[in-house]
Structure 1
Amino acid sequence: MRPAIAIRDMVVSFDGYRALDSVNLDVEDGASFGVVGESGSGKSTLLRAVAGLNFFSSGILSVNGQLYEGRKRDKNFYRQVQMVFQDPYGSLHPRQTVDRLLREPLTIHGFTDVETRITRALDEVGLGTGFRFRFSHQLSGGQRQRIAIARALILEPKVLLLDEPTSALDASIQAEILNLLEQVRKDRALTFILVSHDLAVISHMCENLAVMKSGKIVETLSVEQLRHGGFSTDYTRQLMTASEGFRRR
């Protein structure tokens, strides 16, 4: 089966520093794949390079068989791939209503069934149309992240890139958002790439994961292997120890 996302020898540099150093990765269609590592390991840089927010100077990115280079992305890419960012306070325009935030991508991509899609998107994330004409400052952090998820889903993408989607939220809200994402993936048969520093989140959401250190993938393994200690590097063992809340079951 052809992977939904294929990355070969990807390099991202900032002022001569290699933030990504010849990264290789395959994510199968319909999978939920985790990327973990300490701060500065390159995991968010990888996600942003896939999304076209970071330029990669060499290597190959393939999305459902379509090749992309550098930072170039077309409309078809954004119909297939959407991203949910870490900070629900910074990712929504403070002077736009929820209606405008959801309407904008539909307008850009030429959809005509705007009303239906906005209503469906709000219902899907558990908010309803009562939130449609509120501004982001009138919403809680969890509500803002639900809107960000609705905005990502409204174009009916095949792939969601999730950059620490719950790390800025209270613990009680984190579980709600993770359960929402898990249900959405099942309902829509989506492919997830989830970046997190928290192995508990990865073990809950993902089947397989890559461990990153200093811009490189040092290990790829299944969550079952992780739970049963089937890892091969001391770095992964150290991450398990340092990841607050992680418990083997």
Structure 2
Amino acid sequence: MTAHLDIRDLRVSFHSGAERVDAVRGVSFRVERGASYGIVGESGSGKSTVLRAICGLAPVTGGEVLFEGRPVSEPRDAAFYRNVQMVFQDPYASLHPRHTIDRVLSEPLAIHGFKDRDKRIETALRDVGLGPRFRFAYPHQLSGGQRQRVAVARALILEPTVLLLDEPTSALDASIQAEVLNLLDRLRAERGLTYVLVSHDLAVVAHMCEQLMVMQHGQTVEVMTRADLQAGRATQDYTRRLLAASEGYTPMETSA
């Protein structure tokens, strides 16, 4: 069966003068339609760079990114962004401080030529648990959790099939994290979305993902299922150290 997203031997290198940094070194994984796949590792492991390479924000220097069985173009075209959207880590930085929420949500619709923008904006805000009163607010008037809900609404307003989630709750207070994770869970179930989630938090990954890849120094260390993670069945020392560092974590108990 053709994977929804298929990453084959992905390589990403950055150059600064004579220096070269190999940020991602031969990473491969497949995500089936409707699945949620996690990528975990310490800071600097290359996990966020993988997401940025998939969506065209980091230079792919080797390997392939396939969407629904077909290699994606360089640079990414409009059709790709209609189907694949990214939610960034920091809701404080990802929204323009001088743009109203209405403008934030209108811009992707205008770029892609969508009509009935008013209806789509109202629906998007409602779908992420924000009412119409937020439409003409500015980001500084919203809480961190509300801003991240706007970021999710912006990603979903084009009706994509894949969301790339780069530490979507790490910048939020612990009390708000579960609310956003519940929202993402609900939207995935309602829309049949495919997720690729990057996180350093094993509890978040255990809650959200059926399968995960552990990364270190730009490479895959180990691939595990959720059951493996919850049972502590790691085969590699690095993964065992990650589990030990998170000892005492439990899968998040969230209420709808």
TM-score class, shorter: over 0.9
How far does residue 229 in structure 1 lie from its aligned partner after superposition?
A: 2.4
Query: Sequence identity, in percent?
Result: 60
Indicate conservation of the 8 Å contact 1:8/1:59, yes or no: yes
Indicate conservation of the 8 Å contact 2:232/2:243, yes or no: no
How far does residue 248 in structure 1 lie from its aligned partner after superposition?
A: 7.0
What is the TM-score of this pair, normalised by structure 1?
Answer: 0.97
Match of 1:59 in 2: 63
What is the TM-score of this pair, normalised by structure 2?
Answer: 0.94
Equivalent in 149, 152, 155 of residue 155 of structure 2: 152
Secondary structure in 1 matching 2:58: coil
Equivalent in 218, 222, 225 of residue 221 of structure 2: 218
Secondary structure in 1 matching 2:82: helix
Match of 1:104 in 2: 107
CA distance in 2, matches of 1:3, 1:90: 32
Equivalent in 163, 168, 174 of residue 166 of structure 2: 163
Indicate conservation of the 8 Å contact 1:12/1:55, yes or no: yes
CA distance in 1, matches of 2:11, 2:111: 31
Indicate conservation of the 8 Å contact 1:231/1:237, yes or no: yes
Secondary structure in 2 matching 1:72: coil
Equivalent in 92, 95, 105 of residue 92 of structure 1: 95
Change (3 A) 1:17 1:161: same
- Residue by residue over 1:4-56, the C-alpha shift from the partner in whole angstroms, topping out at 9 and shown as x without a partner, is 11111111011211100011111111101100000000000001000110011
Equivalent in 166, 170, 177 of residue 174 of structure 1: 177
Q: Are positions 1:229 and 2:232 aligned together?
A: yes
Higher mean displacement: 237-246 or 174-183: 237-246
Equivalent in 118, 125, 129 of residue 128 of structure 2: 125
Letter in 2 for 1:49: A
- Residue by residue over 1:49-79, the C-alpha shift from the partner in whole angstroms, topping out at 9 and shown as x without a partner, is 001100111111001122125x510000000
Match of 2:27 in 1: 23
CA distance in 2, matches of 1:11, 1:103: 34
Indicate conservation of the 8 Å contact 2:206/2:251, yes or no: no
Q: What is the CA RMSD across the aligned residues, in angstroms?
A: 1.3
Equivalent in 180, 199, 202 of residue 199 of structure 1: 202
CA distance in 1, matches of 2:67, 2:53: 13
- Residue by residue over 1:184-235, the C-alpha shift from the partner in whole angstroms, topping out at 9 and shown as x without a partner, is 0000000000000000000001100000000001111101011112221111
Match of 2:146 in 1: 143
Q: Are positions 1:240 and 2:221 aligned together?
A: no
CA distance in 1, matches of 2:251, 2:206: 9
Equivalent in 21, 42, 47 of residue 38 of structure 1: 42
CA distance in 2, matches of 1:174, 1:45: 23
How far does residue 243 in structure 1 lie from its aligned partner after superposition?
A: 2.5
CA distance in 1, matches of 2:204, 2:186: 15
How far does residue 238 in structure 1 lie from its aligned partner after superposition?
A: 0.7
Q: Which runs of 4+ in 1 moved over 4 A?
A: none
How far does residue 114 in structure 1 lie from its aligned partner after superposition?
A: 0.7
Aligned length: 248
CA distance in 2, matches of 1:248, 1:119: 33
Change (3 A) 1:166 1:244: farther
Match of 2:11 in 1: 11
How far does residue 82 in structure 1 lie from its aligned partner after superposition?
A: 0.4
